[in-house]
Each structure stands twice: as C-alpha cells, then as structure tokens.
Amino acid sequence: MRTVLISLVVLALALVAGDRVAVVLAQNEIGRRIATEYTLSPEPEVSIGGFPFLTQAAEGRYPDVDIRVGDWTDQNISVRDLEVALRDVTAPLTDLLGGRTDTMVAATATATARVPYETVRDYAPEGVETIAEGPDGLRVTGTFSIEGIPVPATVVVSVAPIEDGIAVTPVSVQRAGGGGPTISLALLRGALTFTVPLRQLPMGARLTAITPGPQGLLVTAVANQVHFSDLP
C-alpha cells in the first residue's frame, strides 16, 4: 500500500511539473511573438491563469492571459505601466509550442497604461507651464494669450477619449493669485483645447476611459475579437 501511495505522489508531482513546464513554454512563446511584432525590449511578461494548464491546453481555451509590457512607445508617444488583459482566449497548444501564436483569438482585450503629464505637456499649446492633478480636477497653469494680452492663470480641464486620442478641454479658469478681472472661458477654449495623439494601443485596443492620477493620465482601452494574425 505504501509503495502505491509513493507512486501516486511521484506521478502527481511529475504531472504538476509537466504542467508548469508547458505553461512556461507557452508564456514564453506568446511573449516572443509580441516582442517581435512591436519591437519590444525586454520581452513582455506573460501569465496564463488557471490550473491545471494542460486541461486548458487540451481544450484549446484559456480564460485569462495577462501581458505586462511596461514602457511602450509608438506614434511618437510613450506610455508607462502598460498591461493587457486577454479574456476567453482560444489557441491550440501545438501551435503555441510550435511558434504559431497567430492562431490565438481573444474574446476581449483590455489595456491599461499611464500617460505621464510631461508627455501631455509636449502636446499642449505654448504658455502651458505645469499639468497636475488637483482637488477639483486636472489643473493646467501657465500664461495664456487673451486677445493679445498675456494672462497668467490656472485652468481646470477635462480629458476624454476621442478617435484621435485624448481631448483636453478647459472647463473653468481663475486668475493667478485669485485677483484681477474674470477671464472668458470661451476665449481660453480656443487657445487651450488640444489633443494628445494616442490612437491605438497594442492588440488594436481603443481608448474608452481616461482618469487623472498623481503621476499621469490613467487610460483604459478595449478591443473585441482580437486575432493575433491581425497584429501589424
């Protein structure tokens, strides 16, 4: 009886070890594929959730595949802390281990990243000095031309996803120091409305939400029915 139990334990350990080896091979292959397509260095970290992996592999269906890219640059813009969560992924294990990740399909892909405020400022009009999160929203400070007159002011702006990227629009304004005449918001909108061109994130995800944070804009993008064969 003892011999049988020992044999079962050894077999279980062997199965677990084999399962972990298979999942590491699959994760590495996905990481290599993405790194090649997007010229990333180092390769992104890939994590395939669920246990056992071989059961998922036998079905060719993986509920959770998370990809951590880190810093990413494209379209002359850089983002940080980029992560992509793939859900309900289908792909044959033989293809993954054979280097054919192009057969992978994800029902949904949700990307999150941070756009630093210094990057946002690069696309702001002349006169903008600082962009930072404030108690009443995202604040832009600087000296702005109002009918040809330079006026120092603090402006609260809104940020929203649009087809071309992130739209930044003034919503309220106050003179520096709180004094002086009221500044026309309509006049400022023409001078201070601008776009940060973030059209597309990896996996073809499109911007859906933007939230100001302490160190930058936290952006979320979503895509449906993502085919790895369609990667650029």
Which has more confidence, 193 or 48? 193
pLDDT exceeds cutoff 50 at 232: no
DSSP string for residues in the chain: -HHHHHHHHHHHHHHHHHHHHHHHHHHHHHHHHHHHHHT-SSPPEEEE-SS-HHHHHHHTEEEEEEEEEEEEEETTEEEEEEEEEEEEEE--HHHHHTT-GGG-EEEEEEEEEEEEHHHHHHTSPTTEEEEEEETTEEEEEEEEEETTEEEEEEEEEEEEEETTEEEEEEEEEEEGGG-SSPPPHHHHHHHH-EEE----BGGGBEEEEEEE-SSEEEEEEEEEEEEGGG--
pLDDT exceeds cutoff 90 at 197: no
Task: Give the residue-averaged pLDDT of 60-68.
Answer: 85
Q: What percent of the chain has pLDDT over 70?
A: 74
**Maximum average pLDDT range among 70-74, 81-85, 227-231:** 81-85
Confidence of residue 219 (pLDDT cuts 50, 70, 90): very high
Per domain, the residue ranges of the chain are 2-114, 124-196
Digit-coded pLDDT (tens) for 198-207? 766 666 678 8
Task: Give the residue-averaged pLDDT of 133-150.
Answer: 85
Which has more confidence, 177 or 13? 177
pLDDT score of 220: 93
Task: Give the residue-averaged pLDDT of 152-168.
Answer: 90
pLDDT exceeds cutoff 80 at 71: yes
Confidence of residue 229 (pLDDT cuts 50, 70, 90): low
CA–CA gap between residue 161 and residue 150 (Å, rounded)? 30
Q: Are 80 and 216 in contact (CB under 8 A)?
A: yes
DSSP string for residues in 146-206: ETTEEEEEEEEEEEEEETTEEEEEEEEEEEGGG-SSPPPHHHHHHHH-EEE----BGGGBE
The whole-model pTM stands at 0.78
Which has more confidence, 62 or 216? 216
Confidence of residue 6 (pLDDT cuts 50, 70, 90): very low
pLDDT exceeds cutoff 70 at 221: yes
pLDDT score of 180: 54
CA–CA gap between residue 207 and residue 221 (Å, rounded)? 4
Confidence of residue 223 (pLDDT cuts 50, 70, 90): confident
